[in-house]
Amino acid sequence: MGKKGRAIIVGGSVAGLSCAHALIQAGCDVVVLEKVRRPSGSATGAGLGLDPQSCRFLSHWLGDPNLLVRSTLPLNIDQNQATDSHNRITMPIARDEKFNFRAVYWNDLHGLLYNALPSETVLWGHQFLAFQPAHDKNSVKIQARIVESGNTVEIVGDLLVAADGSMSIIRHLLLPDCKLRYSGYCAWRGVLDFSEAEFSQTMKGIQKAYPDLGNCLYFDITLGSHCVLYELQNKRLNWLWYINQPEPELKGGSLTMSISSEMLKNMHAEAEKVWVPELAEVMKVTADPFINVIYDCDPLPKLQWDNVVLVGDAAHPTSPHGLRSTNMSIVDAGTLGQCIGKYGISNLSTALKEYEKYRLPVVSQQVLHSRKLGRLKQGLDYKGHGRNLHWKDASREDCLGLLQRNMPFFAGAPSPADSEALPLMMT
């Protein structure tokens, strides 16, 4: 039996915890470094859509598929509809009734993954500082700061997995010229908890206006803007509203903006002008909405260097329109685990190169398609085509092009478990 090996994962979000599961099952000792002090959940947690391939990986790691089913709701319908802001009505323009995703709250998914790991796996309150490969490139040394004490510790492993998000420090160290690209718009986001207002006028109204809630991913599109709405488990509604604007100034290394009472008041007033009354009311009664600034990144030239590998948003910052970020992260993790399991840590270079050959072509195409969707729905120029898709002049082909199933590899990305996939991906 070959060397077991030790993997150090930087980042304790969904990508990092998914990698922990995949690498433990591949036979590695695993430690996850996360700068947050405790697993308290994300203060800005929101909804996610999980595709069938991600659900298969998750169910395998969790050991009980019912855990995932109980924490999610079906999204069997993908519906795009145009909003006439003047008359405050919507008109369906494209519908897919075989969508087959699952809706999950970020905090719920993170909790499932964390609780299924050995208790000693995650080192909370450990902020990554730097790494140094050994001269023979057979190991890597990590420096981290213990947030509570300020002390610095060193950890040595065979593999460093960068799961530290869109603003990845490790990616910047490896590719200092790689920059995030502002999309041209930001997103207001919120989750309405209606568990104590299930029979309120707000809920009666939204359920009448959006009758497939609980089974449908709704996209409302109007001139120069679009909105997303779907239901989550435990009586919650997840919504996003994308607004074109100049790039804001960010502080503190976060893609989430703080908001003022005046900004919130203006958002509510604008929503009443743009969206149907039922959707505007949901936005108005949602507690603590927040703003995400939307960035992506041109596809990277590579994903692995010796014994360092990028996964999740560190490997492919993407806009959210194709529901790809979390799904790519989970499939990254599953594919990495399969490659390590196939070759062992003693053949790490071969394993990481195979991971890159599987994942780089897939994620590159998915990032660019998601970018295209966002710019089309926001009425922004995309390769010379700046016409906004609106119900008054959009062709049937234009409308059908908005459906999620047009995403490259929508039916599932190749993996090492698919014996004939790799030659196809390498062409």
- What are the pLDDT digits (tens) for 309-331? 999 999 999 999 999 999 999 99
Q: Rounded mean pLDDT of the chain?
A: 92
Cβ neighbours of residue 66 closer than 8 Å, sequence gap 6 or more: none
Residue 223, CA distances (Å) to 45, 81, 227, 357 in order: 28, 12, 11, 40
What percent of the chain has a predicted confidence (pLDDT) above 90? 82
N-term to C-term CA, the chain:
34
Distance of CA 118 to the CA centre of its chain: 24
Alpha helix ranges (H) inside 161-299: 169-174, 201-209, 261-274, 277-285
Contact 170, 16 (CB under 8 A): no
- Rounded to the nearest 5 degrees, what angle is found at the Cα of 394, between the Cα atoms of 94 and 74? 15
Q: What does DSSP say about strands 159-162 and 6-10: parallel, antiparallel, or unpaired?
A: parallel
pLDDT band of residue 278 (cuts 50, 70, 90) is very high
Reported for 170-176, long-range contacts at CB under 8 A and 24+ positions apart, including other chains, are 170/10, 170/128, 170/131, 170/308, 170/310, 170/314, 171/300, 171/310, 171/314, 171/315, 173/130, 173/131, 174/305, 174/308, 174/310, 175/300, 175/301
Q: Which residue has the tokens 């790490």?
A: 348
6-57+108-179+298-380+408-426 belongs to which homologous superfamily? Answer: FAD/NAD(P)-binding domain (3.50.50.60)
Handedness of CA 9, 13, 18, 20 (dihedral sign): positive
Rounded distance, CA 194 to CA 175, Å? 45
pLDDT at 421: 41
Among candidate residues 366, 363, 343, 368, the one with its CA nearest the CA of residue 353: 343
Among candidate residues 173, 166, 167, the one with its CA nearest the CA of residue 142: 173
More confident residue, 396 or 263: 263
For the segment 156-185, the average pLDDT, to the nearest whole number, is 96
* Ranges 255-264, 375-384, 404-413, most confident: 404-413
Contact 399, 346 (CB under 8 A): no
Residue 186, CA distances (Å) to 131, 168, 283, 349 in order: 33, 20, 16, 39
Distance of CA 350 to the CA centre of its chain: 28
Contact 358, 418 (CB under 8 A): no
For the segment 147-159, the average pLDDT, to the nearest whole number, is 96
pLDDT at 395: 82
Return the minimum-mean-pLDDT range out of 51-60, 248-257, 277-286, 407-416.
Answer: 248-257
Q: Is the pLDDT of residue 102 over 90?
A: yes
Contact 78, 354 (CB under 8 A): no
Residue 136, CA distances (Å) to 140, 155, 158, 308, 422 in order: 10, 17, 11, 14, 29
Q: Is the pTM of this model over 0.85?
A: yes
Distance of CA 374 to the CA centre of its chain: 15
CATH topology of domain 68-103+181-296: D-Amino Acid Oxidase; Chain A, domain 2 (3.30.9)
pLDDT at 382: 58
Residue 135, CA distances (Å) to 141, 216, 307 in order: 11, 53, 12
Return the minimum-mean-pLDDT range out of 112-116, 315-319, 397-401, 421-425.
Answer: 421-425
pLDDT band of residue 162 (cuts 50, 70, 90) is very high
Residue ranges matching CATH 3.50.50.60 in the chain: 6-57+108-179+298-380+408-426
For the segment 169-184, the average pLDDT, to the nearest whole number, is 96
Rounded distance, CA 303 to CA 311, Å? 8
pLDDT at 391: 60
Distance of CA 407 to the CA centre of its chain: 15
Residue ranges matching CATH 3.30.9.60 in the chain: 68-103+181-296
Alpha helix ranges (H) inside 88-215: 106-115, 169-174, 201-209
Q: Is the pLDDT of residue 407 over 70?
A: yes
Strands (E), 106-168: 122-124, 126-133, 140-146, 152-157, 159-162
pLDDT band of residue 418 (cuts 50, 70, 90) is confident
CB atoms within 10 A of CB 46: 21
pLDDT at 427: 25
Contact 142, 154 (CB under 8 A): yes
